[in-house]
Amino acid sequence: SDVLALFSALDGDRAGRPAGVEEVVPAERSLLVRFDPAVADRSRVGTWIRAALAAGPATGAPAAAAGWLEIPVRYDGEDLVEVGELTALGRDGVVAAHTGQDWTVAFTGFAPGFGYLVGGDPRLQVARRPAPRTRVPAGAVALGGRYSGVYPRPSPGGWRIIGTTPVAMWDLDRDPPAVLRPGVRVRFVALP
């Protein structure tokens, strides 16, 4: 996406980053550049952002600097059969489509450690559930619209659950605590 490409350009430009810029945070359609106005010169920050926009998309994959991650999944989700019916792929087709392409964390939100992954097979785009569940377990792998995601902790949720992973998405004792960070490329791997 354009936001992810801009995030990659700005986040990767540590040498050119103006003093006082503290954080660059992508969202679905916008990018937050947080800076300390007592340290940063507002016009210099604006010039830095405009230069990245004018340069166009970064060469190579936007996620190249952020790394790769394999997430093992047991495709046992309570909505898997329904997703197979909604997409006309069947259960095995959903698994093949979900594991068959790389995904990229476009942005994070909803809960600490929850990444919105894009770039998967477009046939997997399914609407959210008509009524959200009051409790989705940690590790639930789900689909919602054009996104896939992994619930980092038990929480309410309306996405369609297709599987579970044993990988903890959020752990305060880990540095960084979040496994899924903007730009990280993900490959889902089916567990037996």
List, for residues 151-164, the tens digit of each pLDDT value: 999 999 999 999 99
pTM equals 0.78
Q: Which residues contact 170 (CB under 8 A, 6 or more apart)?
A: 111, 112, 113, 152, 153, 177, 178, 179
Q: How far apart are CA 55 and CA 130, in angstroms?
A: 43
pLDDT at 72: 97
As a whole number, mean pLDDT of residues 99-128 equals: 94
Q: What is the residue-averaged pLDDT of the chain?
A: 89
DSSP secondary structure code for residue 65 in this structure:
T
Going by pLDDT thresholds of 50, 70 and 90, the confidence category of residue 61 is very low
pLDDT at 28: 78
Q: Which of 75, 58, 62, 72 is nearest to 104 (CA)?
A: 62
Res 105 pLDDT > 50? yes
Of 23-27, 41-45, 123-127, 141-145, the one with minimum mean pLDDT is: 23-27
As a whole number, mean pLDDT of residues 121-138 equals: 96
Res 65 pLDDT > 50? no
Q: How far apart are CA 161 and CA 136, in angstroms?
A: 9
Q: How far apart are CA 62 and CA 5, in angstroms?
A: 5
pLDDT at 59: 41
As a whole number, mean pLDDT of residues 14-25 equals: 84
Going by pLDDT thresholds of 50, 70 and 90, the confidence category of residue 60 is very low
For 167-176, how does the pLDDT look when each residue is reduced to its tens digit (9 = 90+)? 999 999 988 8
